[in-house]
Amino acid sequence: MELNDSVSKIKGVGPKKREALEAVGIQTVNDLLQWFPRRYDDKRVITPIAELEPGKKLLVEAKLISRRYSGYRYKKKAPLALLADDGTGTLEIVFFNGSYLSNLFNVGKIYSFFGAVTENNGRLQMIHPEFHMAGDKDDIRGLVPEYPPVPGISQPMLRKFISDAMEAASGLEEWLPEKTVKKYHLAGPAFSLTNLHFPSDEKKILQGRYRMVFEEMIVMEAGIASMRASSRGAAGTVIDSSFAKEFIDELPFDLTEGQKSAWSEIVADLASTAPMNRLVQGDVGSGKTVIAETAAYCAVRSGYQAAMMVPTELLANQHYETFTHAFSKFGIRIGLLNGGMKAGEKKALLDDLAAGRIDIIVGTHAIIEPGVVFKNLGLVITDEQHRFGVNQRKLLSEKGREPDVMVMTATPIPRTLAVIVFGDLDISEIRSMPKGRKKIKTSSGYPEDRPAIYDFVGKQLQEGRQAYVVAPLISDSDSIDVKSAEGLYEELKDRFSGFNVALLHGAMAQDEKDRIMEEFGAGNIDMLVSTVVIEIGIDVSNATVMVIEDAERFGLAQLHQLRGRVGRGEHQSYCFLIVNNETEIAKERIAIMCKSSDGFEIAEEDLKLRGPGDIMGTRQSGLPSVKMTDIIRHPEIVARAKQAAEEIVKDDPDLTMEEDKGIRDRVMKAFGKDIRLEI
């Protein structure tokens, strides 16, 4: 078995299991070996009941001496209470809602129980422990890893697959330069994998973990460092930022402190001949567009063209409107490039662009098509970066000669992670909100609260405000009981017959969507029933209510984005999260939403809830995904890996030396065409 073999090479992995593994991104034997445990249960010793300490998670082996279940056919939710005795004392074991377990236990037999010990009226208890019948082959002793769940594959099965896959790891050789291994005291790759999956003691787990985090980080940091080294010295655009004052003075408001500080960082980049590569992070509503406009204004005044690329046509239209409004008095010409344009229209637009008759072009990724040619592109802005790959961003900047690049995102990423995800970018954060913004009042409700919630919505409409109602699906589905935009539209259109209710979703024709957004923006539509198409960027300040149906179906970042559609004006705004199916994770998400309105805080919580895997859309961003949540918990390892990467790149910017071959191969694999290492 080789590391690059498909997981189907492993004994017991048939088409079904293979599909289950692939669903979480495990395709090769190596992917499987990189599926690291999220924690370990210490099942090395059996503790006598007399020595149990409340508060600890311990392992007990004892004979069952009584079983009590007070449920019956019509009252199935009763607890199941067991009493176990190991000769040193007795332990009570409780399973709430124990009907389905009751038959699994036989008085007189010996079982092992692993769980947190609690004390209740002087009696020792374990609530919902893990249990096995004596002699069960899955009842393993030692430091037992618990893996992030793979739906359709049990923990023991996963353990067995990984154990088989280890065969491929045994021949793994050190690929990091010897000087790095020595200086940073790194354990070898085979040793690390073995001890992460089948550890004999805690120290070895830590050594293995340190190596794996370091390894993943050094590849990323070396890629980034090398990319930077190759773009250094390229003579780029020089934009005169002193024009900014003319534009800012005309704004109907003063810039916030956050906007000012972001702008001052941008000014330094614009003035330099090295191309700007800056990420501007700011929560929804923090006013990133003005910063983009100011930069675009300076670019145009300095004799360049600017391009603004956004992920959806809705957003393109909206930015086009805002830009036209902001720039018309300065005589700056704006163009809009959408996917659905008529051929004649499009040709005229492209001609104007190539001839320099358009100063700023706004559009979707249609802008990166080969036929789009600029006369003198000096500034590239992408909004909501997480939807674009690094590659797309690069394709756009290649349309100019080293233009400045500014990337804006409202998905706040904790800084430790942002450096990893957007490692090739400098980062500015807008952390303050425009003055006078009222905090959005967020509350959750159940389906039975809907009448009251919609009564409230009705009152807001009565007062002249507007509302969004969001559903997870476009159309009703036979197989799942989830609200759809179409279904809700039918319901709400009748309920609010005195108001203008409209439907908006991604499957509608583009001009229809445009028309509806325009009408909503103009205040002619009171209530917009929609799918997540309105998730990003839409700005209608008179809209004060956001109702999200089946809110448990949305992720935290998405909920926060959706909520950001309201609270953009002077009026108090409200967000209602209607929960239909309350799982544990949904409960936590909703609680965080009700408690916090700070996107950065929400992002941190999101990270904790999601665990390893695809963190905050790193996959879309084009950079390799970071598998280990440890990276967030151990920024010091990241810092050390970064230092090591810089040491390597300093001596060998293109990573061509023999000792750097291991890193180079991995950098190429991780970054692919996104990195200028092609030789």
Binding site for Mg ion (CB under 5 A): 537
Residue number with CB closer to ligand ADP (381 or 579): 381
CA–centroid distance for 69 within its chain = 44
Q: Are 482 and 551 in contact (CB under 8 A)?
A: no
Residue number with CB closer to Mg ion (483 or 568): 568
Q: Which positions touch ligand ADP (CB under 6 A)?
A: 253, 255-256, 259, 282, 284-290, 410, 434, 539, 541, 568
* Among Mg ion, ligand ADP, none, partner that 423 touches (CB below 5 to 8 angstroms by kind): none
Q: How far is the CB of 284 from ligand ADP (least distance, A)?
A: 4
Q: How far is the CB of 310 from ligand ADP (least distance, A)?
A: 11
DSSP at 446 = -
* Among Mg ion, ligand ADP, none, partner that 256 touches (CB below 5 to 8 angstroms by kind): ligand ADP
Q: How far is the CB of 348 from Mg ion (least distance, A)?
A: 28
Q: Are 576 and 2 in contact (CB under 8 A)?
A: no
Enumerate the β-bridge partners of residue 543. 466
Residue number with CB closer to ligand ADP (263 or 489): 263
Q: How far is the CB of 406 from ligand ADP (least distance, A)?
A: 13
Residue number with CB closer to Mg ion (302 or 322): 322
Residue number with CB closer to ligand ADP (434 or 613): 434
DSSP at 28 = B
- What are the structure tokens assigned to 304, written together? 């360049």
Enumerate the β-bridge partners of residue 529. 469, 503
* Among ligand ADP, Mg ion, none, partner that 543 touches (CB below 5 to 8 angstroms by kind): none
* Among Mg ion, ligand ADP, none, partner that 517 touches (CB below 5 to 8 angstroms by kind): none
Q: How far is the CB of 320 from ligand ADP (least distance, A)?
A: 14
Exposure of 617 in the CB half-sphere (CA atoms within 13 A): 20
Tally the residues of the chain.
679
Q: How far is the CB of 302 from ligand ADP (least distance, A)?
A: 23
* Among Mg ion, ligand ADP, none, partner that 112 touches (CB below 5 to 8 angstroms by kind): none
Residue number with CB closer to ligand ADP (335 or 599): 599
Rounded distance between C-alpha atoms, residue 628 and residue 38, angstroms: 9
**Tokens 């989830």, residue?**
482
* Among Mg ion, ligand ADP, none, partner that 539 touches (CB below 5 to 8 angstroms by kind): ligand ADP
Written as one letter, the residue type at 414 is P
Rounded distance between C-alpha atoms, residue 64 and residue 641, angstroms: 52
Closest CA to 545 of 569, 524, 579, 522: 569
Q: How far is the CB of 430 from ligand ADP (least distance, A)?
A: 7
Rounded distance between C-alpha atoms, residue 664 and residue 679, angstroms: 12
First to last CA, the chain: 32
Q: Which residue is nearest to ligand ADP (CB)?
A: 287
Beta strand extents in 141-204 (DSSP E only): 142-146
Q: What 3 state SS string does 280-317 have?
A: EEECCCCCHHHHHHHHHHHHHHCCCEEEEECCCHHHHH
Residue number with CB closer to ligand ADP (143 or 314): 314
Residue number with CB closer to Mg ion (350 or 603): 603
Residue number with CB closer to ligand ADP (407 or 474): 407
* Among ligand ADP, Mg ion, none, partner that 414 touches (CB below 5 to 8 angstroms by kind): none
Residue number with CB closer to ligand ADP (98 or 599): 599
Q: How far is the CB of 256 from ligand ADP (least distance, A)?
A: 5
DSSP at 276 = P
Rounded distance between C-alpha atoms, residue 297 and residue 261, angstroms: 18
Q: How far is the CB of 463 from ligand ADP (least distance, A)?
A: 20
Q: How far is the CB of 419 from Mg ion (least distance, A)?
A: 23
Q: Which residues, other chains included, contact 509 with Cβ-Cβ below 8 Å and sequence gap of 6+? A: none
Q: How far is the CB of 290 from ligand ADP (least distance, A)?
A: 5
CA–centroid distance for 405 within its chain = 23
Q: Which residue is nearest to Mg ion (CB)?
A: 537
Residue number with CB closer to ligand ADP (444 or 561): 561
Q: What 3 state SS string does 567-586 have?
A: CCCCCCCEEEEECCCCCHHH
Q: Are 513 and 495 in contact (CB under 8 A)?
A: no
* Among Mg ion, ligand ADP, none, partner that 89 touches (CB below 5 to 8 angstroms by kind): none
Q: Which residues, other chains included, contact 644 with Cβ-Cβ below 8 Å and sequence gap of 6+? A: 180, 183, 184, 214, 218, 221
Residue number with CB closer to ligand ADP (194 or 259): 259
Residue number with CB closer to ligand ADP (319 or 365): 319
* Among Mg ion, ligand ADP, none, partner that 7 touches (CB below 5 to 8 angstroms by kind): none
* Among Mg ion, ligand ADP, none, partner that 253 touches (CB below 5 to 8 angstroms by kind): ligand ADP
* Among Mg ion, ligand ADP, none, partner that 638 touches (CB below 5 to 8 angstroms by kind): none
Residue number with CB closer to ligand ADP (34 or 286): 286
- The C-alpha angle 21, 220, 395, rounded to 5 degrees, equals 95
Q: How far is the CB of 662 from ligand ADP (least distance, A)?
A: 42
Strand 501-504 to strand 527-530: parallel, antiparallel, or no bridges (unpaired)?
parallel
* Among Mg ion, ligand ADP, none, partner that 255 touches (CB below 5 to 8 angstroms by kind): ligand ADP
* Among Mg ion, ligand ADP, none, partner that 223 touches (CB below 5 to 8 angstroms by kind): none
- Give phi and psi for 309, each to the nearest 5: -110, 130
- What are the structure tokens assigned to 118, written together? 């609690």
Q: Contacts from 93-99 at CB under 8 Å and sequence distance 24+?
A: 93/125, 93/126, 93/129, 93/131, 94/125, 94/126, 94/127, 94/128, 95/127, 95/128, 96/127, 96/128, 98/69, 98/71, 99/69, 99/71
Q: How far is the CB of 380 from ligand ADP (least distance, A)?
A: 17
Q: Which residues, other chains included, contact 430 with Cβ-Cβ below 8 Å and sequence gap of 6+? A: 256, 258, 259, 261, 262, 280, 281, 282, 283, 286, 287, 288, 291
Residue number with CB closer to ligand ADP (207 or 259): 259
Q: How far is the CB of 263 from ligand ADP (least distance, A)?
A: 11
Q: How far is the CB of 537 from Mg ion (least distance, A)?
A: 5
Closest CA to 313 of 293, 288, 341, 292: 341
